[in-house]
Amino acid sequence: MTTPAKLTIFATVLGLVFGAAALAGGAVGRIHDPAAVATSEMSMEADPMRGLAVSENGLTLELAQRTARPDTKFRLAFRILGEDGRAVREFDVEHTKRMHLIVVRRDLSGFQHLHPTLRADGTWTTPLTLPQAGTYRVFADFSVSGKPTTLADDLQVDGDVQSRELPAPSKTAEADGFRVRLVDGAVRAGTESPLTFNVTRNGKPVSLQDYLGAKGHLVALRRGDLAFLHVHPDENSLRFDASFPTAGSYRLFLQFKVAGLVHTAAFTLEVSR
């Protein structure tokens, strides 16, 4: 073999060796890059959506029954189980209650916000009536040892299901003779946005009473998977700070109290990218 040929082969082999080393080094860099790991962890921690699973944070929602009859009152019972399979009995107080139970049909109609009673054996119970057939999502929203958790499971109501289309986005809603208006501007995904409402009746502002330790309570659910958004209220006004992680349609359920009665206004909010 001639000298030039030997040099060509040597150069080719050397190039392959350095190329493989560069690829290996790049792979190692991607796996052990602290900045990449930190960014991923921050992204996971910043996601405020909950209620996508029946188990989380070592806790599990156990419904006593998974079916119900339409328009028939029954007593819904459930337990929150720990990792040892036993019922949890100690809960923190959040928004003046130890348990918030949200029930809504999967087409985002039929919203109910209940506060069940805890029995000595760790079973929560509440009377419940589901007026129409369909699949309902049951959310148990609570805190244990300072860690807020929202668990959810489905409850099936047998019968002929007539699903409703999600109402178009609107800045106003009617609730029992009250007119409720969302006064803030557009909301973008990934940024904290203030959601401020005002309530009037016959064109005049109304006096709001405290409800669950604030002037109102807001639940936001994402269309499709019904992910539950934890929203923080201002104690002295109908202003809420919310961070929507993804673009899409959300259904907002605002509850407020006037003259001893709680009213619910529902909005469809379109969140842009």
pLDDT in tens, 7-18: 344 444 334 333
pLDDT of residue 32: 31
Rounded-to-integer distance, Cα 158 and Cα 194, Å: 40
pLDDT at 214: 96
Residue 23: per-residue pLDDT? 34
- pLDDT category, 227, cuts 50, 70, 90? very high
Q: Do 270 and 186 form a contact (C-beta atoms < 8 A)?
A: no
Same domain, 62 and 114: yes
Model pLDDT, residue 8: 43
Q: Give the number of domains in the chain.
A: 2
How far is Cα 80 from Cα 138, in angstroms, rounded to an integer? 13
Residue 249 pLDDT? 96
Chain centroid to CA 215: how far? 21
CA–CA separation, 118 and 101 (whole Å) = 12
82 and 142 both lie in a single domain: yes
Q: Report whether pLDDT(139) > 60.
A: yes
Q: What is the pLDDT of residue 21?
A: 37
Which of 96, 122, 157 terminates a domain? The answer is 157
Q: Which of 150, 178, 164 is nearest to 268 (CA)?
A: 164
Q: Are residues 144 and 196 in the same domain?
A: no
Examine residue 201 and state whether it is found in any structural domain, yes or no.
yes
On the question of pLDDT at 4 being above 70, the answer is no
Of 196, 267, 228, 241, the C-alpha closest to 49 is 228
The pLDDT-based confidence of 48 (bands split at 50, 70, 90) is low
Here the tokens at position 79 are 């337990």
Say whether both 142 and 186 belong to one domain. no
Q: Which helix (H) or strand (E) holds 262?
A: strand 261-271
Closest CA to 251 of 131, 84, 109: 109
Does 16 map to a domain? no
Residue 33 forms part of a structural domain: no
Residues 120 and 146 in one domain: yes
What pLDDT does residue 235 have? 87
Residue 186: pLDDT band (50, 70, 90) is: confident
245 is a domain residue: yes
Answer yes or no: is 40 within a domain. Answer: no
Task: Say yes or no to pLDDT of 47 above 90.
Answer: no
Give the CATH number of the domain where residue 205 resides. 2.60.40.1080
Distance CA 120, CA 271 (A): 43
The CA-to-CA distance between both ends of the chain, in Å, stands at 64
Provide the domain limits for residue 135. Answer: 49-157
Nearest CA-CA partner of 249 in 184, 165, 166, 150 = 166
Q: Quick one: 252 and 191 in the same domain? A: yes
Residues 53 and 150 in one domain: yes
Same domain, residue pair 128 and 202: no
Q: Is residue 32, in this structure, part of any structural domain at all?
A: no
**Residue 82 domain flag:** yes
Q: Is residue 4 part of a domain?
A: no
Sign of the four-CA dihedral 106, 109, 113, 114: negative
264 and 229 in a common domain: yes
The reply to whether 149 and 183 lie within a common domain is: no
Is pTM beyond 0.85 here?
A: no
Whichever domain contains 70, its CATH number is 2.60.40.1930
Which residue's entry shows tokens 């109910």? 112
Is residue 100 located within the same domain as residue 190?
no
Q: Which residues contact 134 (CB under 8 A, 6 or more apart)?
A: 105, 106, 107, 110, 157, 159, 161, 163
Which of these, 155, 134, 144, 121, lies nearest to 60 by C-alpha position?
A: 144
Average pLDDT over residues 125-130: 98
Quote the CA–CA distance of 21 and 61 in Å, as a whole number. 50
User: What is the pLDDT confidence band of residue 31, given thresholds at 50, 70 and 90?
Assistant: very low
pLDDT of 22 above 70:
no
